[in-house]
Amino acid sequence: MAKARKRRSKAGKIIFVIEIVVLVLLIGALAAYSFVNSKLNKIENDTLDMNKVQINNAVESNTTLTGYTNLALFGLDSRPEGSQFADNQNSDTIMIASINNDTKEVKLVSLYRDTLLDIGDDTYQKCNAAYATGGPEAAISMLNTNLDLNITDYATVDFSALVTVIDELGGLDIPLSYNEIEHMNNYCVETSEATGKSYTPIEKPEVKPEGTKADTEIVGTYHLNGVQATSYCRIRYTAGLDFKRTERQRLVLQMIADKAKKSSLTTLSSIMDKVFPMVQTSLTQQEIFNMGAGMLSYKFDDTSGFPFEHTEMNHTSKGDIVVPNTLEKNVTKLHEFLFGEKNYQVSEDVKKRSETISGIAGGTVTETSDSVTATSEDSYSSEPVTDYTSDYSTDYSGYDSSYDSGYSDYDGEDYDSGYSDYDSGDTNYDSGYTDNGGGDTGDYEGSGDTGGIEESSSEEME
């Protein structure tokens, strides 16, 4: 059984609100206290109800976890009127940041948002619905009780933050294939509507490359604004599917970090003024500031996605879901990845949830993430989907950056982060933001004003 967790003191908290989610607080440790403090006032602080944060009893005796600081990161995909951090919306992005308090190594795990988990009270649904059932407390509890973790702090960022950061940095020069231009233009419609930002559609070349070259052959390097670059990150309907989308997100994050490090204090100050109001965290200003001076000593060690082994299926009542193979085995691998625990024995709580999930999926699942059967109507076929990364990789050699973000060991198959496209699933929690975009028909015409853009009738729904 899980029990409510009393808040415990955490030495060694990091300013992840910026470095990971927003990627622009690199300057924080270098500025004067009065300057930083005035900026931190713009961040919305939230005091968690720790009586509602659940942790499995067995985790209390796990001494290994005491050497780590774990933080939950959420990306919200819409801004309901009244509060952009309203609890009645799904979390588009769910990440776990784990810091080794001794070595200062940071590992990141991104949960696939359609993963079937217990989101509370024995309700098994896509994990991104947990936030809508009870805000950050419910979402943190979902992570703790399904994964045997002890998270008691979080940071949430609004969807518009990425667009704003890119615009403030002056845009990004990104190499694009023919199909990437087409899909990006389509996604831009919704991204623009959701953020209130305008854009100018990219004109496609007159001649479309044949076959898979339309996906993989770079036709030019284009200067993209925030709406366009964010929409580029959302593309999933080219060869490589989610694996390729992950690669795009990785490229954009690296470019952002590169430009942020070279930006002036004036630019970074402007970014903080505009982006910090889009951030909510349970960390206090003092906790954030105390770690600011040492944040440059933190280094990103590795990243991954969860579950490590899974099956994608279309469930009769739960829609398109990601099923861990099995939850018990995946949690064991998670603890080895994050904490170096060999042959970790999961709690009885996790074992029970693992059995329930396998039962919902129709028994013990045998397929793995290396050979996933996709039955969604949005899939290209019902054949097993394999890892396309090696066969359909795009040459981004045109982008030359000397910046080392610390993600050198990145594996595109595992890590899925950032502002990915939204799927509300079959829950009752509709954020009002859908994932329309892409398509092989229909062009957009406009002059940078969203009002001058006509939306194609072709839509790609996740």
**pLDDT tens, 324-339?**
999 999 999 999 999 9
Listed range (155-159, 246-250, 344-348) with the worst mean pLDDT: 246-250
| pLDDT at position 389 over 90 | no
User: Cβ of 200: how many Cβ atoms within 10 Å?
Assistant: 18
Work out the pLDDT band at 95, boundaries 50, 70, 90: confident
Report pTM: 0.68
Listed in sequence order, the DSSP H helices in 223-302 are 226-234, 241-262, 265-275, 285-292
Pairing state of beta strands 310-315 and 319-324? Answer: antiparallel
- The β-bridge relationship of strands 68-76 and 154-158 is parallel
User: Given pLDDT bands bounded at 50, 70 and 90, which one contains residue 181?
Assistant: very high
Which residues make Cβ contacts (< 8 Å) with residue 250, sequence separation at least 6? 407, 410, 412, 415
Using the predicted structure, report yes or no on whether residue 185 has a pLDDT greater than 90.
Answer: yes
CA-CA-CA-CA torsion for 428, 434, 439, 443, nearest 10 degrees? 150
- Which whole-number Å values give the CA distances from 231 to 76, 179, 243, 249, 350, in the listed order? 16, 13, 16, 10, 37
Polymer length in residues for the chain: 462
Q: What is the pLDDT of residues 4-61, one digit of tens each?
A: 555 444 333 333 344 444 454 444 444 445 566 778 888 888 999 999 999 999 998 8
Which residues lie below 8 Å from residue 124, measured CB to CB, with a gap of 6+?
Answer: 116, 117, 118, 318, 356, 357, 360
Question: Domains in the chain, please, with CATH?
Answer: 2-160+265-308 (3.30.420.590)
Lowest mean pLDDT among 123-127, 236-240, 356-360: 236-240
What confidence tier does 237 reach under pLDDT thresholds 50, 70, 90?
confident
